[in-house]
Amino acid sequence: MQQDGHFPVTDANNTARRTALITGASAGIGKCFAEHYAACGHDLILTARRTDRLETLAAQLAADNGITTTVIAGDMADPATPQRLWTEITGRGLTVDVLINNAGYGMTNNFVDYPWTEHRDFIQVMVTAYAELCHLALPGMLERRHGRIINVASLAGLAPGTIGHTLYGASKAFLIKMSESLSLETEGTGVHVTAVNPGFTRSEFHTTAGVQETVDRMPKWMWMQAKDVVAETHAASEAGRATVIPGRANRMTAFILRHVPANLALTLSRRRSAMQDDAAGKA
């Protein structure tokens, strides 16, 4: 490993290989995206806050797949990070052919339980950084007439509001609508923009959000493995689909959500939130 976090490929003769930039790549779905695209022969640029985990992953993927991996640390809560990241990428002479916006986390308490600074950082990570990286990546993709952007949204972006998670569903709804609009704007250009809306997916997300005990009590059939979510997303991106909902159960849930009257949906959400509070209190 070189000091700049760059892991060189052993065979440098393949100049046609494309490069994927993945945010939040150190764990969970982001890590699975890195593994999947590495196996497909893409070079990788990986970014997250935890460089130790990134460097271990990058070295392993480079060795296993004969690709080049580059690690650039960055905290998307810092408004300067997207532009700094892009400047470093272009300064190294790298080209981003695939952008996978995946960095994110959850906040579970009521809106007023957090200081505004935490909400501000959340919006920066979950909304502003996604949009800015799309804005930075798209001009080059359009000029080259090839590019893929995947924005990791959520089934929560299609669901009614809930008690707690106040900004989470709202941020994911933003990503869905932005991706749909960008997909229309780039139609016929060779650039595909896709929002993926996972449901319950096995990853570190729920442990980080502090709700692992609650989700462990949920039926197993509701859950998907992260690698399956990633595989469906890749196929949808290559097919030029604006949105994808991985998994049959999740697609059925989305269908129901679209057809339930808004007032009834909110009533059901209120009852579900109350049941979760009761369960948490008894745990």
CA distance 170 to 126: 10
Q: Taking phi first (over 0 means left), then psi (-120 to 50 degrees means alpha), and beta for anything else, what does residue 247 get?
A: left
Is residue 213 a contact partner of residue 283, using CB atoms and an 8 Å limit? yes
Q: Are 175 and 151 in contact (CB under 8 A)?
A: yes
**H or E element in which residue 238 lies:** helix 226-238
List strand residue ranges (DSSP E) for the chain, in order: 6-7, 19-23, 43-47, 69-71, 98-101, 147-152, 191-196, 200-202, 223-225, 243-244
Active-site residue list: 168
Task: Name residue 243's beta-bridge partners.
Answer: 195
Count Cα atoms within 13 angstroms, Cβ side, for 272. 14
Find all residues with CB under 8 Å of 257, minimum gap 6, and list them: 158, 159, 160, 265
